[in-house]
Homo-oligomer: A and B are copies of this chain.
């Protein structure tokens, strides 16, 4: 994991709450490593559109994919996009309503993506996206055939211009409010995988593989996210 400082273009330098900007490239990769879904922002006819979609990353490149007919991806190659990955770690209950907040980790990546045309490079991107969703699936599932590959748009976006915002720890109340007779603290939030549900058309005698069953249970969450300062 690299420790190169993040970019500091105007929009990736936070205008406020600078203490929440972790200017470490390692933090960017940690956030991407912990997620499966991003929110892709594009501009269509001058207006913003925000679409949830899967992503993958490898080295300094983030990959997105979709149908060749997806308007959100068609808009991408000709112009800038913004990709945001967010983890909600806790609800922050302060004594004052004003200081209620959310503990979260968020990464935003800006850039003009490149539409991949080389089949090998497209497969590299699709592998990264699949392995982000369920590590281990790429090597067991039936690979894309040429027709499926042709029907899939894969975009590559440099991770160069990015920003990271993190809020962790207990509420930060106004000094006089600490005397109030009110509970305050953090309600931790985490993502949990339930037991795998077999496809109703699954052939008999095929158990869920270990790389799937091993995901069941709570996903990792940084200890400081639970509210410890």
A interface vs B, CB < 8 Å? 11, 15-16, 36-37, 39-44, 46-52, 54, 67, 69-71, 79-84, 86, 88, 90-91, 93-98, 100, 102, 104, 106, 108, 110, 126, 130, 133-134, 137-138, 140-145, 148, 152, 170-171, 173, 177-203, 206-209, 212, 215-216, 218, 226-229
The reply to whether B39 and A48 form a contact with Cβ atoms under 8 Å apart is: no
Contact in complex: B188, A195 (CB < 8 Å): yes
Report if A71-B15 is in contact (Cβ < 8 Å); known contacts: A39-B86, A100-B141, A142-B95. yes
Contact A50 B50 (CB under 8 A): yes
Q: Is the interface of A mostly helix, strand, loop or mixed?
A: mixed
Q: How many copies does the complex hold?
A: 2
User: Which one of B40, B190, B199 lies within 8 Å of A171 (CB-CB)?
Assistant: B199
Q: Is the CB of A84 within 8 A of B199?
A: no
Query: Do the beta carbons of A188 and B193 come within 8 Å of each other?
Result: yes
B212 near A187 with CB under 8 A, answer yes
The answer to whether B110 touches A47, judged by C-beta atoms less than 8 angstroms apart, is yes
Sorted from nearest, which 5 A-B pairs have the closest CB atoms?
A: A197-B227, A41-B48, A188-B194, A41-B50, A39-B39
**Contact partner, A70, options B16, B100, B130, B202, Cβ 8 Å:** B16
Bound state CA distance, A199 and B188, in angstroms? 12
Given A11-B47, A97-B137, 20 more A-B residue pairs with CB atoms under 8 Å apart are A37-B104, A39-B52, A42-B48, A43-B47, A50-B84, A51-B84, A54-B102, A93-B137, A96-B144, A97-B130, A97-B141, A171-B199, A178-B201, A183-B207, A183-B212, A185-B198, A185-B199, A189-B193, A197-B226, A197-B227
